[in-house]
Structure 1
């Protein structure tokens, strides 16, 4: 079954480690007097503490959409007993747990340290202003994965970051190469240099289908099988699915403003998307990419009159990573961004606006009539992103669909349905862009703000926008170490991406 980022749930296990004095006595481990140091009093107080702890778990953890398991409760005593039964109770759900949220009491320090070291899963402490560092410091120095939450809202934030990490580490990505399965002849040459390294470090896996076989599947299965796989039963489009594509085309054309594409060409692009979705479902995938230029040069896109552009747009608005030009890096980045932001991602050629020798050099495909009002001074810290794969869920995967237009990619013949988004209407919108380096050692994280859209009324790979950054020259020099496409989402998730990068074993690079 295919898996969107919206399907990813974090599983959280609350753990309460109590500590009870069994006798009445005073001294340097007793910080009260009277009834408070009598046997049984600790149990009463800690019962109230447990109730408050679980209320906060409900408010700050369950509210994130996490699956919260039944709490594990153990109690040490002033006999300083450490029993295997404690850890059996606390670790009973370890295999399915993604995060432990722990509340411990003074005196149970050694139990807590050993628990943190026995599990490989991250542990976040109840963020009260107490003595947590007494246990977290020795545990972390021994290899435990400790998340230092300052307050309960930060516990919620860690849940979001860990959910994004889970989305990346559990992703299967469908690849449709023509030649090399790692990089194409043209396009995403700046993607990962070794997919085995990606699996080792990030955890995601890859599923392959030859792009010729995929394109054969865009017609109902002949009795003798497809040309590339004669005699085999393959998941070709069915007549019923073609009929559904016809219905979808009518629905999309009715809502598009404007609609500058023939229905027949839109249906062919929807057929391509349907086949991609079937293969993603067959191989349990969370993302997809195909090599646009490599596939284009077969002339089969021309003969079958489609492009993959609309497939990427429709995948993205459902929360699946989907990237042009066999850019596997962008697919992984999109999955991370969408899981953190709960908004659809967008990618494109990301290029600087160059102000030099008293003039503005606009990047290719930025239409000068769209940026005529931008001054030399304002242009000094601007960038652009251009591609034909926006979608209708940029403001939120669960939000109402954005307004859109439908146009076509091919200038002469009019095939290759593409969506257009009016980015000018989103002027002032904060955005976050990122890209992982080809060798997985760094993640570039960029904060920006949309200035104006460009190319809305054009065909081919021309739509996009111009955006402000802190320092164009600084970003450009950093980008040269990462690659052309900087996938983005709406909103400011830069700090979360920085923490996620570190958890994935990468050094964050901010711009």
Structure 2
């Protein structure tokens, strides 16, 4: 995994347990119990039991693949309703690091929750305990106050499943905000091969917070020529390992090192500029004839980058880099991207095809067994390494595709079912997933607002993507 991989970045959650514990013995409209139940010691004991249950829930039900949980804070207050400054300071002691406060407790948690939200300037979230019979009304009470008071973020989940979905979306927003894209250029800032990438490059930073570093594409070749013998030996060792682990190798194995050397060169430049995302123009760089001279293409670089947890897209498509990052973060899988089109010979089944030679080993998940990969030449000259996988093995599986509008104000979500794989072992840019959608004509009509490049992953992530779009202020188009 790359040192600054977006896959390893987590959402930092500060759990807070708020408990109103009475100091005095009395009965009344807001005080239940009798005898010992009205004592401070009894209430405190019961409070700590619930606090322990809350921590067990966090351990068992929160998705730790997406979340870094800090040690829970316990905030006690009393029937004088004074929230002590030292208590708030303790809760907020990690505020600089915290992304969201997860608040639970016994009764009357809403007032304290509003203080935490206002003082921290961070989102707050609520979720019933796993043994709860009803929704968390304290969260609703606090949300209504905060929404009416200003621009606050409050999330009320009905289950830990919903809470994890919220955390995935929040983590993805954080990932995009902390992403720095190495944007290779040859001449025109908008690639001639993908004019639907964006309209104004600054829209990307305004919407997502992603920083973009422009880099002269020809400089890659200078860096490539400057590789040391040690770095070239590293490239050969990586190439040899790819061959050793391959399901099949259908090009001269010795040429794979050429593509791996470019991959290491791109990573070296990224590391120098502290970047963790990558793209550069295929057509414009090809036209320099340097690729033909050196017998390499960028396909393997994009595949290996994604297996490293680095969003990497073809054709200087910045929108696709963001799409890949979104799916990579939400699904914790290496996405595929490509040209998506309706199969005119099979319109009755609403069949689509998406192709580019950039599949990855970890398309089923970074924590899963890598896919059986074949290596095929991109060119008919038997060079330019590409990863290939027979998608037809996954017939019947669900997939989710997304694309962003060139103004970065809309996201298109497509759900499909795998039916096959085109040109699995054929050279050139032909490796394609074949899948069915509900209405291919509707897809084709809506695609015109977004462009031809879609990113996709295995699984159904529509609800996660809708939640993320809402957080980012983007309109959702579904096909």
- Give the TM bin, normalised by the shorter chain: over 0.9
Residue 393 (structure 2) pairs with residue 425 (structure 1): yes
Is the 2:51–2:105 Cα contact (8 Å) retained in structure 1? Answer: no
Post-superposition Cα deviations, 1:160-197, rounded to whole Å, max 9, x if no partner, equal 2222222222111111111233x21x122111222322
Tell me the alpha carbon deviations over residues 96-132 of structure 1, each in whole angstroms, 9 at most, x when there is no partner.
Answer: 0112111133334322222223333221113242422
Structure 1 equivalent of residue 181 of structure 2: 173
Q: Given the alignment of the two structures, is residue 310 of structure 1 paired with residue 312 of structure 2, yes or no?
A: no
1:277 alignment counterpart: 267
In the alignment, is the contact (CA less than 8 A) between 1:62 and 1:68 conserved in 2?
A: no
Cα distance between partner residues in 2 of 1:39 and 1:345: 55
Given that residues 173 and 287 in structure 1 are in contact (C-alpha distance below 8 angstroms), is that contact kept between their aligned partners in structure 2?
yes
User: Does the 8 A contact of 2:66 with 2:171 survive in 1?
Assistant: no
Q: Evaluate the alpha carbon distance shift between residue 251 and residue 110 of structure 1 in structure 2; reply closer, same or farther with a 3 A threshold.
A: closer
Change (3 A) 1:64 1:255: closer
Give the aligned partner of residue 410 of structure 1. Answer: 379
Q: 2:210 aligns with which of 184, 204, 207?
A: 204
Distance in 2 of aligned mates of 1:313 and 1:64: 22
Choose which of 158, 163, 186 in structure 2 pairs with 1:150. 158
* Deviation readout 1:242-285 (Å, 9 max, x if unpaired): 12222332332344344222234321111111101111222222
Aligned to 2:143: 136
Distance 1:376-1:23 versus aligned 2 partners, 3 A rule = closer
Q: Which residue of 2 aligns with 1:377?
A: 348
1:385-396 equivalence runs, <5 A? 385-396=354-365
Q: Residues 321-360 of structure 1 correspond to what in structure 2 (within 5 A)?
A: 321-354=311-344, 360=345
Of the candidates 270, 287, 305, which is equivalent to residue 277 of structure 2? 287
Aligned residue among 419, 438, 441 for 2:406: 438
User: Are the counterparts in 2 of residues 109 and 134 from structure 1 also a CA contact under 8 Å?
Assistant: yes
Matches of 1:107 and 1:391, distance apart in 2: 50
* Superposed counterparts of 1:237-248, under 5 Å: 237-248=227-238
What CA deviation, in whole Å up to 9, does each residue of 1:333-352 have, x standing for no partner? 11110111121110010011
**Superposed displacement of residue 376, structure 1:** 6.2
Check the 8 A contact 1:2/1:280 in 2, yes or no: no
| Alignment deviations for residues 324-365 of structure 1 (CA, whole Å, 9 cap, x no partner) | 0001111111111011112111001001123xxxxx2xxxxx
Cα distance, 1:376–1:81 mapped onto 2, change above 3 Å: closer
TM-score by length of structure 1 reads: 0.88
Q: Deviations over 1:40-90 (max 9, x none)?
A: 332222111111111111212364453221222222211121333332222
Alpha-carbon deviations, 1:206-252, whole Å to 9, x = none?
123210011221112xxxxxxxxxxxxxxxx2211112222332332
The alignment status of 1:120 with 2:121, answered yes or no, reads yes
Asked if residue 194 in structure 1 is aligned to residue 189 in structure 2, the reply is no
Which residue in 2 is equivalent to 1:164?
172
- Is there any run of 5+ residues in structure 1 with no aligned partner, and where? 221-236, 355-359, 361-374
CA distance in 2 between partners of 1:473 and 1:292 (Å): 30
1:263 match: 253
Alpha-carbon distance in structure 1 between the residues aligned to 2:102 and 2:247: 49
SS of 1:347's equivalent in the other structure is strand
**CA contact 2:419–2:436 (8 Å) conserved in 1:** yes
CA distance in structure 1 between the aligned counterparts of 2:113 and 2:137, rounded to whole angstroms = 12
1:431-475 Cα distance to aligned partner (Å, 9 max, x none): 111112111211111111110100112101011121011111111
Match of 1:364 in 2: none
- Judged with a 3 Å threshold, the aligned counterparts in structure 2 of structure 1 residues 376 and 158 are, in CA distance, closer, same or farther, namely closer
Name the counterpart of 1:365.
Answer: none
| Stretch moving more, 26-35 or 294-303 | 26-35
Output the TM-score relative to the length of structure 2. 0.93
Distance 1:455 1:396 in 2: 24
Would you say how many aligned residue pairs link Structure 1 and Structure 2?
Answer: 471
Corresponding residue SS for 1:174: strand
- Cα distance in 1 for partners of 2:237, 2:3 equals 23
In the alignment, structure 1 residue 401 sits paired with structure 2 residue 370: yes
User: Please, what is the CA RMSD of the aligned residues?
Assistant: 1.9
**What stretches of structure 2 of length at least 5 have no aligned partner?**
none
Check 1:37–1:465 CA distance in 2 against 1; reply closer, same or farther (3 A cut): same
Mark the CA change 1:197 to 1:426 in structure 2 (over 3 Å): closer, same or farther: same
